[in-house]
């Protein structure tokens, strides 16, 4: 893990029309599928969350009581889609409907699956699903603690930046 910066810089991005969506192109490797987590499973979710986010200092869901986590991932307006490569969970995308908007709440790959083009594929899948489910706006936020390609992947998929915020680095990310 790199040194923690002094400031947390959060970038908010959105799409307000499906025509802005630029789907990732290219062939997907054999044995790659995306499946919904049909039944809320806190332990499996925490495995994914920690495996994907540990290098990026994701902490929020790790410090939640299990009952609170289950309450967050159980509503019908929340969906967790898991990407499998060769039968192994490789990453996930969590979508949360909020009225006419859908937030990409969490998204990422386990380190051993990065660099294969799977991130752009998974992100495209999630965006497409949000539009199919009736979103009028799809949004996401990223920060300077996320992977080095996160922001460029969002921009390449058609997201536009609408706000940037800076604050002193919260202690939980140190």
Which residue is associated with the tokens 């390449």? 156
**Residue 1 — pLDDT band, cuts 50, 70, 90?**
low
- Compute, in degrees rounded to 10, the torsion defined by CA atoms 144, 149, 113, 88: 70
Looking at per-residue pLDDT, the higher value among 94 and 3 belongs to 94
Least confident of 21-30, 35-44, 80-89, 122-131: 21-30
Structural domains of the chain in order of their starting residue, each with its CATH number: 7-173 (3.40.630.30)
pLDDT of residue 31: 84
Burial of 116 (0-12, 13-18, 19+ CB in 10 A): middle
State the distance between the two ends of the chain, measured CA to CA, in whole angstroms.
Answer: 11
pLDDT of residue 56: 85
Mean pLDDT rounded to a whole number for the chain? 92
Burial of 70 (0-12, 13-18, 19+ CB in 10 A): middle
pLDDT of residue 25: 80
Give, for 156, the enclosing helix (H) or strand (E): helix 150-156
């Amino acid at each position: 893990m790199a040194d923690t910066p002094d400031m947390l810089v959060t970038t908010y991005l959105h799409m307000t029309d499906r025509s802005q969506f630029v789907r990732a192109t290219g062939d997907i490797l054999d044995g790659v599928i995306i499946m919904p987590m049909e039944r809320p499973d806190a332990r499996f979710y925490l495995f994914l969350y920690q495996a994907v986010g540990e290098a990026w200092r994701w902490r929020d869901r790790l410090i939640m009581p299990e009952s609170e986590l289950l309450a967050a991932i159980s509503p019908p307006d929340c969906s967790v889609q898991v990407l499998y490569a060769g039968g192994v969970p490789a990453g996930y995308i969590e979508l949360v409907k909020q009225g006419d908007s859908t937030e990409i709440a969490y998204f990422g790959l386990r380190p051993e699956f990065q660099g294969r083009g799977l991130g752009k594929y998974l992100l495209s899948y999630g965006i497409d699903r949000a539009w199919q489910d009736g979103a009028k706006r799809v949004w996401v936020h990223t920060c300077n603690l996320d992977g080095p390609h996160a922001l460029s992947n969002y921009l390449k998929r058609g997201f536009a930046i609408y706000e940037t915020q800076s604050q002193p680095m919260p202690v939980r990310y140190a």
